[in-house]
Structure 1
Amino acid sequence: MKQRAFLAIGTIVLCAGLLAGCGKVTKSVEINYGETYKIEDEKLEGKENLTWESADAEIVEVADDGTVTAKAPGKAKVAIKENGKSVGEYTFNVSIVPIEQIIFSSDTIEVTDGDTVAVKYTLLPQNASDYGITWTSADETIVKVRNVDEVKLIAQSEGKTTIIATTDNGVTAQCAVEVVPKSAYEQLTKDEKEFVNDILPIMSNFKNPASVRFNAIYKLFDGNYTLDVAAQNGFGGNTVTTYMFDANLNYFLKMDNYKETKGNMNADLVTQAVHEKLGY
């Protein structure tokens, strides 16, 4: 009789264990590359201190709130635990939607020498997976292509070249790239840019602003400069004049009997920048 009771108790314990196992959350999910999926199940309601762990983070990543992101095609499991004890497991099958066409947003991408710009493009079909695209430059001495998080062009030198996109399934697309020189203003130092910004509002004080050439510019202190200016005179020639310029007061003072200014700025480049800004 005691032996039967022991067997009965053992059976009850075994059944309870099986029932506990049956209570675990298990599911298989089909998901495309780049998509997200939030793990939610009524069997998880009320459970505390849930944690999630991906068996292969290169295929699927999982956030602290149970949101899964598909990172690459393949199959990976995500374990669900409560206080360190397993309460479930999801299996994710990540697929890609093949690319049929790559369309660039413009026929030619223009980038300034030394700058970096993002490449804008569209994939067809609209739900195609932005995965497995190899980007190359026909001439890396002009522009390089980097594909980390987003595709970017890094300008190396002035010139024209082509970038090529090739997918794993053999689709290719090309786009022309032109690297243009920096504007004169972009090449200026901080102090030189400040001077240009200060002088622009009062360039109209000169009889013929388009004829103005700065021979030398010397920054004395904030907002104050001495400068030698060559400008067209009324006799068809150019006259060089030295001025004291107070940018804070927008005030020009002609300085007679003043020695030639010893400049500490690139006067030629400043002149180009001023003319650029004025549209000359």
Structure 2
Amino acid sequence: MPTIPSEGSRPPVREPHRHRGVAESYGTDAERYDRARPRYPRALVDRVLAAAPGTDVLDAGCGTGIAARQFAAAGCRVLGVDVDPRMAGLARRHGLETEVSAFEAWEPAGRKFDAVVSGQAWHWVDPVAGPAKAAQALRPGGLLAVFWNAGRPAPGLAASFAEVYRRLMPGSLAERQWAAPASASGAYAALCAKAAEGIRETGAYGAPERWRFDWEHTYTRDAWLDQVPTTGDHTQLSPDDLEKVLSGIGAAIDAVGGSFTMRYSTPVVAAARNDTV
């Protein structure tokens, strides 16, 4: 059985999972989060189900149930786990069975699943304790699949976004994101590498695989501005500062005609649980 390390046994490095206050801030407007955040490509859902031994799915960090509902629509029985009761509450209102807990502290209580998935949330989970907990909940041969949506607009618009954040939120994650070289998935390469490293460290899985799904979505000005407050540093802004950011971003979108196409890449790290664990 994989061992979940104690908090004191790991070095005190600066990693997202040690800053859960940011993760738990998304529930301040759970309905906006659910409405505005992008979904995941159906090809990803199909690939997970083709690799898993069955259709019992556990969604770790399910949030409002965006990914969970996609798996349920594909015929799966899904249980969600999320640390934020506001997000979990909305997931329940959408018909998803959900339990409130940090994933590392959640107890399977003898339940077994064919797949553990996590969309846009695994960086908030301890990179070793998370896959160790997932292994406890997986049947032999069950699949752990963690994934993120990484989006990139045309280079000119990305530069305009970066300039807004440079002026209004200097040094922020948003500024770094849009000022980075033009690659949809490049910013998530480190998260994927960390996830794969943690999976290997448990000794509970076969070799992690990397998958990638590319797709596009067109946003109107209003649709993009609806999503912005649900992301990263924006959840920590005062209403006045957020309004300034939204005004600047809106002007940048107006300058390119009032809408734009976001080119998304969805990288996945997946690994099957060892039969002998």
Specify the TM-score bucket, using the shorter chain as the normaliser: under 0.3
Normalising by structure 1, we get a TM-score of 0.20
Which of the pair is proportionally richer in strand?
1
Which entry has the higher C-alpha Rg, 1 or 2? 1
Which of the pair is proportionally richer in helix?
2
